[in-house]
Chains A and B, each alone.
Chain A
């Protein structure tokens, strides 16, 4: 039984470590100076891995890789995140971030590599008990003979049921609204995802189930 428990926890840790989150990328895409961040996102649309280096508290650069479930396309790109503005207050913090990625999209259907880029702006406001986020993104794909631009936006609200001290386990209850007006499947135009965020030290993970009964799992490690 003990061996089984150990194996389970090892497996869980391995999943978190190897699939390392985009979730906080939604809120905090930049870490402290001279640090690394590994992030992973798994949702209805894609599986994403980010490996980022923050030379300072205002910028981070790194690799973004994604696998799109439906199209079976693969993305390899470079991403730059920039903190445009931060307002630090006694009990709250708000941030405006920009994120740009430029890369190559490997299209499964045509077996071709095409240019892909995206520009994202996100604003968040956080206290120790409340969290708000809005993010909008424009994606551009330069397919052979078919150039396309798509728009997505999302918002999140979160409440911490208790306030944990530094270094202890923090828990958040969150609700995410997604709007994908350009998606070919109308079920994906509006998606609602209730989720739980767990946060301790340098580790964070999020688990949710969306309105189409699809799982969301995100994780992040900073070092």
Chain B
């Protein structure tokens, strides 16, 4: 019985972890594909540049996939033109923009 309870607990906590992951992924409003993101300094550069923008609440940089994910503050927007300008100011090149919401 103890073993079953333990297995069930592990299973449930895994589900919980998985749902948290999915929920976090869905929280990002914009996914930006960027060219030239090859090192931590590059990632740091775009992170700092976007963080200074008031409408950006949270930013996640994925070097492996060469993308930036943005969560905006409630009710705010960020135009494609502004995104392109910020990427260029960071020193990189914009590939594409996906709107998740």
Contacts and interface: CB of A to CB of B under 8 A. Distances in A.
A68 interface: no
The dominant DSSP class at the A interface is loop
Nearest to B42: A93
Contact of A32 (B49, B64, B66, B95): B49
Given A56-B89, A57-B89, A166-B62, A201 B40 contact: yes
The dominant DSSP class at the B interface is mixed
B90 interface: yes
Contacts of A214: none
A86 interface: yes
Q: Which of B44, B62, B92 has its CB near the most chain A CB atoms (within 10 A)? A: B44
Interface in B7-43: 34-36, 38-43
Interface size class of A (residues with CB under 8 A): 20 to 34
A88 B61 contact: no
A31 B38 contact: no
Interface of A: 24, 28, 30-33, 35, 56-58, 83, 86-93, 126-128, 163, 165-167, 170, 199-202, 222
Interface of B: 34-36, 38-45, 48-49, 61-64, 66, 89-93, 95
